[in-house]
Structure formats: structure tokens, C-alpha cells
Structure 1
Amino acid sequence: MSFKHTTANPARAVLALSLVGSLGLPAYAQQAPAATAADAAVQTVVVTGTFAKNRRTLDTESPVDVISGKELQASGSTELATVLGRLVPSVNFPRPSGADASDAVRPAQLRGLSPDQVLVLVNGKRRHTSAVINVNGTLGRGSAPVDLNAIPMTAIDRIEVLRDGAAAQYGSDAIAGVINIILKRGADGGELEAGFGQYDAGDGEQASLKGSAGFALGERGWVRVAAEVADRNPTNRAGADLRNPREPRYGQVNQRLGDPASKPRTVFVNSQYALTDSIDWYAFANYGERDTSAAATWRTAYTSTSPTAPLRSTIFPEGFLPMQNSTSLDQSLVTGLRGEAAGWRWDASVNHGRNTFRLELDNTVNQSLGATSPTHFYAGKLTSTQTLGNLDVAREFPVAGLAGPLTVAAGLEARRESYAIGAGEEASYIGTGSQGFSGFRPADAGKRSRHNESVYLNLEAEVTDKLSGGVALRHERYSDFGSTTSAKGSARYAFNDQVAIRGTASSGFRAPSLAQQHYTITTTNFMLINGQNTAVETGTFAVDSPAALALGAQPLKAEKARNLSLGLQWQPSRNLSSSLDLYQIEIDDRILFSGNLNLANTGLRNDLAAQGVYVGAARYFTNSLDTRTRGLDWVSTYRLNLNQGERLDLTLAYNRNKTDVLRVSPNPELLGRNKLVLLDRQTIQRATVGAPEDKLNLSADYTAGKWNARAGLTRYGSFTVPQNDPAMDQVYDPQWVLDLSGSVRLSTQWKLSAGIDNATNRVPAQITSLGNLNNNGINRYSGYAPNGYNGRYFYAKAAYSW
């Protein structure tokens, strides 16, 4: 969904000024001429959230961060989510380890909410979600969001991050906001870049090669191709294993705690062709594969510390580290026609996306098979697909008494989604299953689908020279849980050329994903029982399965949200601007993954056994929590024009938010009778205190002719890793992290860059030994840490452009 716009200037100085109106059609953004450099210094035309043509950042009603391609490249990381976590204070991207598939597909948060409560668009079109659902003890537990790292940065022109509820504009998932990724366009120019980096500890080497080039399609069109390949070696910050002196590898580092090994390969294509003077055809597509090798938990040689304990495996008499080797395959195609007729701008498109996650296990055994066990297992695969069609129209109407035309926009959307689980080989699930990850069983396998239809209407106008506003209304009908209607109103009032206030009020929703409704697996999980990490066969059950119903499960319903925001804008001069936005987000019936229900010594275990389900613990999804998130965003930018050819851009960006629990649903009576709690304290607290309470970004970007230098100082606020026993919580102090980079342009084509991420080599405090949470000092760091725990990273890049 998009309309014409003026191309954004990449200067960081416009970050704070990027705002959004009511409803956007970003595909049309590819048609307008570029702004002059002088104009871009004071304005950026955004396409996220508005149908109005040429809506400037200074005129819109809701805040958006505009991140240029230049900023994305000013980092040593090749992961999009990592870079966004450093540049945008409201984005949090932790780096879990030892969390099964979550190691390979890590979730990002916006405003401390669930990763699947932010909508991701590419060129204004809804992006498909990952097939992976995060079911271990990480932030974002229970979510199945978009895999941001499947999108290569070399394909991106800029990113617009809408920090406001937008379900009335875009539909499900846009509770916390919208991330709209705008691809590079046009036939002119190209670039090729090679990079290499390594951590100060001597590991985690990363080599990358990426490029982008445009080609003309005659005189009426163009196609742009971007490609990226990388090879990232693993890191390891685990401690020595001192648990059992009898172990053959006692005192050695057996566990691997850190980033997994990863090899992404991605191609993105963006294109446009003028069929007639008034009709354009456009298409963009991607194909990507990412191989990841992540470690599970080290299996000791002996099954316990008892002197008479038997060997765990005769195949690995010294113990073994199971390796989870996965391949994530990501594909998408969006194509459509757009044009103008009888004064109406229209856009009709078809959008298909597919993500497949295939998992294999190596260096492990199935203990129940004894000496005949294989050491390689195919554990199965997950597949998520999305197909949708859109028709969007918009037109300006002159209205007597209004300072500007009334923009009327309307549209229709039909979407079909599916989610499939493919069973692994028999050896991966029979008996105790393959160690590290028990495969999907035939009983787990299957495919579920649903469809929904929606209609929306959007109105926006300049009411007077000082007052603008908009309203949006959207109705959706889902085949699996019913209908929902969302509304939004927004307004902005300019007291003068320097000061303005803005505000929005909206309702929203997020439909339960198919993965949350139907994900099923039985695997080995480690639970804290009597102060010890204990391996327990744990069943994850679909909410409509007989096993879940026997444990009190109820059908999932949509999350409902109410968003309020109020902001102040101040621009005393052309080069200085500041904005402060306060917000409140109330969410009813949040979908959470239950705590692990320990079925030992309960009759429920026997009830499941009677169904042929033999597990020691169970879990399922539930609507059982209402929350309220309150926070603020403050962004200020200042540009200093120094001597001829010299410029200094300064930015201060700050986010603070706090989430409180408003209601917890009563515990199911069935569980209560067995002294079990569906939502334990840890599950609830993870949704409220696990993300940093605030984040501050200070950056300085200096340019002098062919030289450029950049410094970014980030303060990550305090966060808590909760446990069911409050005495075992660990509260982490704030941390300051400094990133430095510089570049020199050797010629009009060649550019060299180098930098240090985390130059101060800051890592979070180590996990305390309370309750054996750090596995006797082996797992030294928490995966909740917003800046990771790998330490200082050095990198260098060489780029050739034309």
C-alpha cells in the first residue's frame, strides 16, 4: 500500500522529526522526485501511516523513527535486528543461547511488548512471520514474529519505525507499532562491499560480501538486485564444568554459550515498469537460506554424581554436546499494479510469503536405543505461509471551510495463512528421543489454515492552517475466532512555526497466530526442581487437543488493545528539533505460554497416560493476562554546519516504559485441585520486567570532506531476570556501551571503513549461583542481556560504488 512521496535524505538529523499520519500506501513512495539537500535538512516525507500525498514529517500526528541506509551500514553487525536495537531506543534485541530454535531466529521487541505485537512491512506490504515459535525461557516466550534478520541491509534504502498503535490502519499485530522497510529502487548506481570482524576474545569471526545494483528495463522501467552472503563463527562465554570430579572432562569448558555459527545467503529483487502513462507494474521478491549450528546443553558422561551411576552413552563415554543444525528457508513475492483513474489513486496487489525451518541433530544419541543409536537425527520441520490480496484507493476532495483537501482512502484485503508441522524420523522421537531436541512425532504433525477478510476507511485533512487530523476504521473477520473492529483518531495543532502538540487514540487487536493455537511437541526440558536443573519430558499441547483440554485449556481469542499518546514538538531553528511523546497501551487477554506444569505426583499425569501421552510436565497457550504499559519517547537532533565541507550531527534519543499487570485470570479449578498454577510468577514477570526499563542513545556524526567519524553511546537500563521465588530474581544494573566507527573515501568509487562495537568491552554481570540458576557456573550470562555478552568487536570494510 503506497503513494507518491519525496525521497528521504539519509541524514540522521531528521530522525526525531519522522512522524506518521493515519494510513499508508508505501508502494507509491517509489514514484516521486527526490528532495533537494536543503529541503531534506528540515523535512522528510514519510509514507508509513498516511494516504495524503507529500506528507512531511513536520506535519504528521504520530512519531516515527527514520533510519537511513547509511546508519544501518555504520555498524559491524550484519544482522538487521541487532542494528535496529542499537539505533532505536524503543527496540530491544536480546541474544538468547541454548534456547533451541530461538538461537537461530531471535525475536525483537518494540516498547517492551511481545515481539509479535509489532507489524513488519516491506514497501508497505505485510511481511510473513517466521515458522519458529519461541517456547523456551527467553524474552518473547510464546511469540512467532517476523524474522527481521532474513532481510539483508544492502537491499534497504531506509526504515520507518512507527511508534504508535496502528491496527485500525494495518490490521492484526500493530499494537506496539509498525516497522516499514523501504527497499532501494532505480536503475542507477550500485555498490559492492566486503567486510571482516572478530571479537576481542578471539572468536566469533564474521566475513561478509554484499552488493546492490540497478538495471534499466528499456526506457520505462528498472530492476534492482541486492545480494548478501556471510559466514559467522560461534562465540563461547561458558564457564568450566566443575560439577562432578568423576567426569572425564571435569574442569574443562564443555558447554557452548554464545552466538551460534551461522551462514546466511539472501537475494532481494525490487522492480517497476510503466505499462502505460498512468499504470505501473511493480514486483519485489526475496529468496534466502540461513544455516545455523547452535549448541544444546552438555550431557555428562554419567547420569548422576553417584559413584554407581551408569554411563549415559557408550557411544560418547566422555559426554557429549548435542548440536542443533537448522536451515531457515525464506521466500516471498509481491506483485501488483498501481495507477490513477478519474482522480483516484489505486493499488492492487498479490502477496505471498513462506518460511520453513528444518532441524537436524548431530553429535547426540537417543538413549533408549543404546549402542545402536544413530548420532545424526532429522527432527522435522515447521512451515508458515501467508497469501493475501489488497485493493487500495485514495483521492483528495476539496471541501469548503477546510484549509486543505480531504483525503479519502478505502481498501479491501483477503488473507489466507497456514501453519504446518512435519514429523521427524522415527529414531528422533521414539523412547526418550534424541538428546537436545526430541523430534516431532506423527501425532504432532499436521497442517492448519485460516482465512480472514477486512475492509477499512481512512479520512485525513488539514482542518485549518494550524490543525490537522485523521480518523481510521477497520473491520476484520477471521474464520477461526470471529470478527473485530478497530478505530483510530489523530490530531496535530501548531501554535506557531516552532511549537506543536499531537495526539492519538486508538483501539487495536492481535489475532492469535496459528502457531500459538496448534504448535505441538514433546521434548526434554530442564526445570528447576528443588534447586536443581532437572531434565523432564515436557509436552507442549495445542489448545484444542484432548491433552490440553484435560488440563483446563480454553480456545484462544484475540488480544484487544487501547492506545493513547500525547506529544510535544519543538523546532526553534532550522537545525534544532526536539519531540517528547507520552503513551499508554492497555492490552486485554494477552496470549502467553503457560509455565511448565509439573505433573509429578498428580492424577493429571495418569489422565494423560490414559490418552497415551506420557510426560512429566505440560504447557499450552492461554489468554490470562491484562497489562498496561506507560512510557515516553524523547528525541532531539541538532546539526552544526562548521567550516566549508564540515558538518556535525548530534542526536539524543531516549525511551522509558513500565508494564503493570491489571488482571490475571483465575487459575483453572482443575489445576488448582492439583496444586498447579497456569501462569506462574516467572511467566507473568517475564512479560513485565524482563526488558530494560529505559534506553538512552547519544550519537555524533562528523563529516569533513572525504572523512567521516561516528560515535554512539548507549545506556541500557536495568532489567530483571525473574524466577518463581522472588528471592532468586537477579536485577541487572544499567550499562553504558560505546560504539565507534570511521570511514574515508579514497576516490569517488572506493571507501574504507573500520570500527569497534562495544569499545568499552562491557558485559552484563554474571548469573548468581542462587538456586543453581547458572548451572554451577557453566552458564555465566543471561540471554536477557540487551547488549549481549560477547564483548568488544573489531571490524573493517571495503566498498566499491558506481
Structure 2
Amino acid sequence: MPIYRPAALALAPLPRALFLCGLMATGMAAQAQDNAADSELQSVVVTGTYAKNRRTVDSESPIDIIGTRELQASGSTELATVLGRVLPSLNFPRPSGADASDAVRPAQLRGLSPDQVLVLVNGKRRHASAVVNVNGTQGRGSAPVDLNAIPLSAIDHIEVLRDGAAAQYGSDAIAGVINIILKKGADGGDAEVGFGEYQEHDGRQRSLRASGGLNLGENGWVRVAVDVADRDPTNRAGADVRNPLEPRYGQVTQRFGDPKTKPAALFLNSEYHINDDIDWYAFANYGQRDTSAAATWRTALVAVNVASTPTVPAHTEYVQRTPVYPRGFLPLENSRSTDGAVVTGLRGEAGGWRWDVSLNYGENEFRLNLDDTVNQDLGAKSPTHFYAGRLKNAQTLVNLDVARDFPVEAFSGPVTVALGSEYRRETYEIGAGDEASYSGTGAQGFSGFRPVNAGSNSRHNQSVYANVEAEITKQFSASGALRHERYSDFGNTTSAKGSARYAFNDIVSLRATGSSGFRAPSLAQQFYTITTTNFSVVNNVNTAIETGTFAVGSAAASALGATPLKAEKARNYSLGLVIQPSRNWTTTVDAYRIKIDDRVALSANMTLNQTLKDALAKQGILVGAGRYFTNAIDTRTTGVDVLSTYRLDTRDAGRFDFTGAYNHNKTELEHVNANPAILSANGLTLIDRQTINRITVGSPRDKFSLATDWSINQWGARAVVTRYGKFTVPQNNAALDQTYDPQWVLDLSASVKLGKNWRLTAGVDNVTDRYPDQVTTAGNLNNNGINPYSGFAPNGFNGRYYYAKAGYTW
């Protein structure tokens, strides 16, 4: 069961559901048994602190601990999907038909941008994905870490710091920090094989994962983890009834659902004891994920407007789109995401100082091919396979961290002082595709990267920080942090954080934090550039428009009013209440407010008039629409997290673990920058209504779950019911906005241990086969019923899923 530590009491009146959670928790507390064994509530954490032996119950910021049992408690083998089910504050929708976002799906913490959460592995910064989410999905414009590149078999547990932490960790830690702690040691191992399938007899999944260790002589160990899976696609598309003249009229031509994926990942973790004062450590990973996602079905016939003549009035005729596919075709975007990293370092103690020096390199490459498609400008000579190009993101870091505990006679505990410095270099590359993929209108489905798009860009930054923590009395502790960073591309920034905790007694404690933070605009946001075919609903018809995504410093972006990007600035405030009347029961209430200025956003798809088209054509850019990244939006996010856990041990009925969790989150617009003069003069808007409302109302307003884990002897069972709150998919025409009703989902699983080593597990996710609301027919947003569900749906739209797993441990 996930364990949440509070950082906040409400900053605004709490909703009725919060009150009900409190009543539920109080009722369970009345039954608490003081002789229950210690649970994860007493776990030692390493995230957000430099002190030794800091427990979650003593933390000044809210920290969740997600253990192995929770990571393996569903049928999913994807880390982000699992986190989305056990963390009420994390949203992981499943977009379809969104190009590269189908292959590398973004996750949100507290409704903020996916790249506003920092991901660590064993406390070291993880590199971001090369993919930029430029389509109309949640997280549009972000280039976050690919959580699904990290195999579940390698993870011991995960610590989630739900608080701003830029002063401690640097850029990106606005919404919080996800620290993935790897399994360690040579002893023991496990292996598991799994199989699953959806109710509609598609999406069949086969998985194999294993983890084991071995000794490196007498003083060291290495641990190896492997995950391999093969997942078939799902399809929930409706029948194509757009044109009765089509050869496949009335059939399902589109593929709308999860893509076909084949991930394989290897993770190593190792350590060697050199002497009593120095240890060497290293961990590394390498993985590939092949994904086959479907673009939009291309009909066999295409409408052509015929001008009037003296004898024939103006009319529409349908002609063959391409002789290569006389019955129409479905372009497939076949990608390979390659992910690798290595971290190595030395740590030890000298003169009372704990020190750690490390080297960290990580990279992610995304290569895209198009199959079963054509370049219409090449006619019958068009190939059906195209290499569309590649994206690559890499980072190199050197870190030095030192910490020491200083005894202070007047304090009940030592003062921990931590100092550190970091050097980081980042590079971002775009590689061009083959000529046929981009010439003319390019390959249908995804026009390739052109030589003019290709290039490599880099930057570096240096940072220093100081952190002080002290237990002043047995009841009161406090900490402060200060960090200064200097970037080669946009200058200097300084972040600060202060926090405190006061325990009124052994049962009730209160804590608070306040911090400033920042997020540097990524290189991808500064330099990503491509021309693609986007679809826009015009007069109830999905119309293809060539759209240019321009680097913010390019002449094309400048012609449309672009200015250089700067860092996002954040202010985080939280107040938290922890109630722990016994070792087997705890309730936490965390409220927070996050203000972010100068948020980096991808602008609207601006349909250009002839004046602007001509201006860009002089630069050799032939597009009908354009967009670029900009700092234009200020927002305020207010929310509350509530979690109550209770463990009940019985003599005859076994052990029960109950968990109730609730998140309420609201993002509001505070300011939008003035529209650039060149755009206003041409009747265009840089930040449109849809861009704003995607940020403010596109994520579920709340999420609630109740979970029960039961175990006795060799038997175990788990039941989780989750309510995903309502959300709105916005349009620029307010009349076309659609608000989706809340969705209740029930997951059940059971397991049995056979002998000493074997365990069998079977389960059903979404037992009641619940689907989200269908997309309205208004404005033809569902593409004539072909795309019946929204990619914003937080639990996807695949329906009931059956699975079984067999595991062996030693």
C-alpha cells in the first residue's frame, strides 16, 4: 500500500470528500492495536534530506514510499501506469493517434506539466526523453523523463517527495521528486512470467522479468535485472462511414488504442568496499522499446473541388488518392526508443565529513520509420517505407556532495550541514530522414525531419548549494536550503527553501514548507523544429494543414513574434498534519499551493493568412500554420492530498491492510502575456483558449481510491476501487468543450504461494468493464465516430483486462 506523509493542512475549505476520509480514518483508529508490528510508516528515507536515519514520520515534507508489493499489484508492467494507480496525485492518460506521444507517454504530478517533476535513480538525476509532446495531448509541449524505460524488476522501492525541491536538486523539481531506489546486494532473486488480455480479445501481453545478484569477491556485489515484454495493440475505433463510395465503407479502418510495443531493458547495480573509508558504486541501464502506432486512416478517394464551366456548375468529385493503395491505407509509425545510462562514483567518510563524488551520463534516442504509407507527390513511384529521422537527448553530470553532523549542546540532535556542487552538460540532436520522407508534402502520417531541421545544440551549467537541518528540540525541527545555478544560455537563478516540523505529542504533528524554484527551458523546447501535417476541424471536416514547429530563435519564429525563452519561476507553499495514534495506523493531510510564472508552453497552431505565408515562403518555408514555444502563462495550483492507512492483524482471519487516498487539485490562470504585435495585426492569437484550458481543466480535478490487502498463510488478495474525477477537453469554441463524468474502476487480484519458492497470481483490472464517456458528435470531434474516446481519459479506454503471473523467488 502506498504510504503518504503530509505536508499540508488545507489552504482553502476542504471538500466534503475530505471530511468523509477523516471520518473513515477516525473509525479505523478506534480499532487500532498497539502491539501491531512496525510498518512502512517507520521507513528511513533518503529523498529531500541529508541527515542520517530520517524517518518518514519525522520528515518536514510529505514523502510517499511505494514498495515492491504495490509495484506488482496490478496487471501492468509499465512503471508509469503502476504509479498512476497507486498515487492519487499522479495522472497517466493513454493518448492515441498522437505521433511520438503514443510511444513515449507523459505523466503528470499534481496536474502540472510532465517535465515539472524531477526523476532520480538512487538519488542521481535521470536524463529526459528525446521526444517532445507537440500534439494535442496532456503535457503538450513537454519533454519529460520516460518512466517506462525503467524496469519494475530493478526497483526495490520508490520515494516520492511531494514538494518543491529546486533548492535541493535544481531544475525541474517544481511539482516534486520521484526517487527510484534500485535493488541491491548479492543475496536472493526473483523471476516472473506473465500473460494478459483485454475483454475484447486484443492487447494480449506477454512478459518476463527477473532479478538476481552475485558477489564481487568478498567485498562487493553486482545485481542484474531484466524485463522483456511483447504487447499487442488494442483497437476501440468505430466503423468508417464517411463516404459511401469508399471500397471499405462501413468497416473499421482506423486503429485507435494502445500501440503494439516490444520493450526490453537491462539494469545493473553494484558496489565494492575498497576500504573502511571508501566505497565504489555504479549502476547502469540499457534498453530498447519498439513501438508500432497507427496514424490516421487515409481514404481511397479524396475530394477535389471542380470549378464551374459554361456547361457544368461547380461541384465536388472524388478521385483516387494513390494507385499504390487503391482501397485506402493506414500509415504505421514504427519507432525505436533506445535508452542508456551509467552512473559511477566513490563515497566515504573523512574527518567526520560524509562525501560522494560521481559521474553521470545518460541518453535517449528516438528513431522513427513510416510503413504502409506513401508520399503522394511521388505518385505510383512512391516507396511504402520511409525513414523519418531521429531525436537524441543526452546529459553528462559531475557531482560533489559532502555532509557532516555537528553536535550542538543546546539542541536535542545534531545540526546536519550539506554542501555540494554540480556541473551539467546537455545536448539535443535532430537527424534528418530520407528525402522521400519530407519532399513535397512528405510521407503520409508523419512528414520526416528535413536537413534544415537537423542539427545539434548544447549548453552547460554550474551550481552550488548549501543545506542545513537541525533537531532543535524533541518536538521541533527545521531546515533550510539555498542553491545558485548559472546556465550558459539564459543566465543565473537562485532558489531557496525553508521547512519546519512541530510534534505536539507522540500522536499529532504539524509541518510546513515554503520555497522558490525554477525549471530551465529544455533544449528540446528551444530547438525542436519540424513541419508536419496536422488535422483541424473546419466546417465539420477534418482538414489537413501543413504546420511548422519553429525553433524559438529561428527567423521564422521571430517573424511571428517569438522572443528568447527564460526559466520558469515557482513558489511552493505547504502545510501538513500527521496523525499517528499507533504504529499500525496513520492519517496525513497535505495541502499545497504552487505559483508558476513564465510557464513554457507550445503556442496555438496559428493558421496563417497570405501575408504571413508569403513572409515565410521567402525563407523557403511553405506552411499553412505555425507555432513555437513561449513563456506566456502564469498559473496558480491549489490542492490537498489525504491518505489514511490502517493495519489489522487477526488471530484466525489473517492480516488486513486498508488504504484510503484522496487528491483534489485545481489550477487557475493568473496572467497571460500580451499578444505579439505582429500576430495581432494579422488577426492571430499566440496563446489560445484551448492552450490555457488544457492546463487548467484538462486533468481530473480529483481522484479517490480505497484499497484492501489481505494475507493469511500462503494466500493473499487485493481489491482497489478508484474514482477518477471529471475533466474537460477544451476547444477554442467554448460550445464544443466536453466535460467527462467521473469514472469508477474496480481492480481485483488473488495469489497463492506453492511451496517455499513459487507464487501464482491472477487478477482482473477494471472488473466492471467501465469505459469513459464517448466523444460528443458536436463539431465532428470524434471524426465521424471513428475516434470514439478521448486520449485525456486518465484510465484509458481499453476496458476489462485479465492477467495471470507465475513467480519464483530464491
Normalising by the smaller structure, the TM-score range is over 0.9
Unpaired runs of at least 5, structure 1: 1-11, 21-35
* Matches of 1:743 and 1:17, distance apart in 2: 29
Partner of 1:31: none
* Matches of 1:72 and 1:752, distance apart in 2: 16
Partner of 1:276: 275
Mapping for residues 454-603 of structure 1, pairs under 5 Å: 454-599=463-608, 601-603=609-611
Q: How far is the alpha carbon of 1:572 from its aligned partner?
A: 1.6
Mapping for residues 214-229 of structure 1, pairs under 5 Å: 214-229=213-228
Q: How far is the alpha carbon of 1:40 from its aligned partner?
A: 4.0
SS where residue 317 of structure 2 aligns?
coil
Q: Is 1:18–1:44's contact at 8 Å kept on the other side of the alignment?
A: no
Mapping for residues 16-31 of structure 1, pairs under 5 Å: 16-17=4-5
SS where residue 227 of structure 2 aligns?
strand
* Matches of 1:606 and 1:472, distance apart in 2: 53
* Matches of 2:67 and 2:585, distance apart in 1: 19
Mapping for residues 622-641 of structure 1, pairs under 5 Å: 622-641=630-649
What residue identity is the alignment partner of 2:619?
Q
Q: Which TM-score applies when normalising by structure 1?
A: 0.95
Q: Is 2:7–2:577's contact at 8 Å kept on the other side of the alignment?
A: no
Within the candidate set 787, 797, 801, 2:795 is matched to 787
Partner of 2:778: 770
Within the candidate set 7, 10, 15, 2:3 is matched to 15
Deviations 1:203-250 (A, max 9, x none): 000000110001011110100000011000000000000000000000
Residue 704 of structure 2 is aligned to residue 715 of structure 1: no
Bigger shift: residues 39-48 or 396-405: 39-48
Q: How far is the alpha carbon of 1:37 from its aligned partner?
A: 9.8
Within the candidate set 741, 750, 765, 1:742 is matched to 750
Q: How far is the alpha carbon of 1:574 from its aligned partner?
A: 2.0
Q: Is 2:114–2:139's contact at 8 Å kept on the other side of the alignment?
A: yes
Q: How far is the alpha carbon of 1:17 from its aligned partner?
A: 4.1
* Matches of 1:335 and 1:135, distance apart in 2: 34
Deviations 1:335-360 (A, max 9, x none): 00000001000000000001000000
Change (3 A) 1:78 1:283: same
Partner of 1:303: 302
Structure of higher RCO (CA pairs closer than 8 Å, 6+ residues apart): 2
* Matches of 1:381 and 1:77, distance apart in 2: 29
Within the candidate set 381, 384, 397, 2:393 is matched to 384
* Matches of 2:337 and 2:295, distance apart in 1: 18
* Matches of 1:355 and 1:41, distance apart in 2: 34
Q: How far is the alpha carbon of 1:646 from its aligned partner?
A: 1.5
Q: Is 2:37–2:584's contact at 8 Å kept on the other side of the alignment?
A: no
Unpaired runs of at least 5, structure 2: 9-34, 305-314
Partner of 1:352: 361
What residue identity is the alignment partner of 1:425?
D
Change (3 A) 1:259 1:42: closer
Q: How far is the alpha carbon of 1:19 from its aligned partner?
A: 7.9
What residue identity is the alignment partner of 1:194?
V
Q: Is 2:7–2:513's contact at 8 Å kept on the other side of the alignment?
A: no
* Matches of 1:463 and 1:739, distance apart in 2: 46
SS where residue 275 of structure 2 aligns?
coil
* Matches of 1:541 and 1:793, distance apart in 2: 41
SS where residue 71 of structure 1 aligns?
helix
Partner of 2:19: none
Partner of 1:65: 64
Q: Is 1:602–1:674's contact at 8 Å kept on the other side of the alignment?
A: no
Q: How far is the alpha carbon of 1:533 from its aligned partner?
A: 1.4
* Matches of 1:69 and 1:37, distance apart in 2: 21
Partner of 2:133: 134
Residue 263 of structure 2 is aligned to residue 264 of structure 1: yes
Partner of 1:681: 689
Q: Is 2:6–2:590's contact at 8 Å kept on the other side of the alignment?
A: no
Q: Is 1:581–1:633's contact at 8 Å kept on the other side of the alignment?
A: yes
Within the candidate set 401, 423, 426, 2:432 is matched to 423
Residue 613 of structure 2 is aligned to residue 608 of structure 1: no
Partner of 1:27: none
Q: How far is the alpha carbon of 1:38 from its aligned partner?
A: 3.7
SS where residue 272 of structure 1 aligns?
strand
Residue 465 of structure 2 is aligned to residue 453 of structure 1: no
* Matches of 2:237 and 2:41, distance apart in 1: 49
* Matches of 1:479 and 1:485, distance apart in 2: 15
* Matches of 1:609 and 1:76, distance apart in 2: 52
Bigger shift: residues 467-476 or 296-305: 296-305
Residue 730 of structure 2 is aligned to residue 730 of structure 1: no
* Matches of 1:475 and 1:279, distance apart in 2: 29
What residue identity is the alignment partner of 1:514?
L
Q: Which TM-score applies when normalising by structure 2?
A: 0.95
SS where residue 3 of structure 2 aligns?
helix
Deviations 1:448-478 (A, max 9, x none): 0000000000000101111001000000000
* Matches of 1:506 and 1:602, distance apart in 2: 48
Q: Is 1:18–1:46's contact at 8 Å kept on the other side of the alignment?
A: no
* Matches of 2:748 and 2:7, distance apart in 1: 28
Deviations 1:653-710 (A, max 9, x none): 1110100000000111100111100011001100111000000111000010110100
SS where residue 169 of structure 1 aligns?
helix
Aligned pair count reads 774
Residue 660 of structure 2 is aligned to residue 652 of structure 1: yes
Partner of 1:400: 409
* Matches of 2:367 and 2:784, distance apart in 1: 32
SS where residue 310 of structure 1 aligns?
strand
Deviations 1:565-613 (A, max 9, x none): 00111112221110101100000000000110001x3311110011111
Q: How far is the alpha carbon of 1:645 from its aligned partner?
A: 7.9
SS where residue 308 of structure 1 aligns?
strand
Q: Which runs of 4+ in 1 moved over 6 A?
A: none
What residue identity is the alignment partner of 1:723?
Q
Q: Percent identity?
A: 68
Partner of 1:7: none
Q: How far is the alpha carbon of 1:42 from its aligned partner?
A: 4.6
SS where residue 15 of structure 1 aligns?
coil
Q: Is 2:342–2:360's contact at 8 Å kept on the other side of the alignment?
A: yes
Deviations 1:596-634 (A, max 9, x none): 0001x3311110011111000000000000000000000
Q: Is 1:474–1:486's contact at 8 Å kept on the other side of the alignment?
A: yes
Partner of 1:29: none
SS where residue 534 of structure 2 aligns?
strand
Deviations 1:698-734 (A, max 9, x none): 1000010110100011100000000001110000011
* Matches of 1:276 and 1:44, distance apart in 2: 28
What residue identity is the alignment partner of 2:736?
M
SS where residue 663 of structure 2 aligns?
strand
What residue identity is the alignment partner of 1:515?
A
Mapping for residues 40-119 of structure 1, pairs under 5 Å: 40=39, 42-119=41-118
What residue identity is the alignment partner of 2:397?
L
* Matches of 1:16 and 1:288, distance apart in 2: 31
Q: Is 1:19–1:46's contact at 8 Å kept on the other side of the alignment?
A: no
* Matches of 1:210 and 1:492, distance apart in 2: 41
Partner of 2:310: none
Q: Is 1:745–1:752's contact at 8 Å kept on the other side of the alignment?
A: yes
Partner of 1:184: 183
Partner of 2:168: 169
* Matches of 2:756 and 2:220, distance apart in 1: 27
Bigger shift: residues 303-312 or 633-642: 303-312
Partner of 2:307: none
Mapping for residues 699-710 of structure 1, pairs under 5 Å: 699-710=707-718
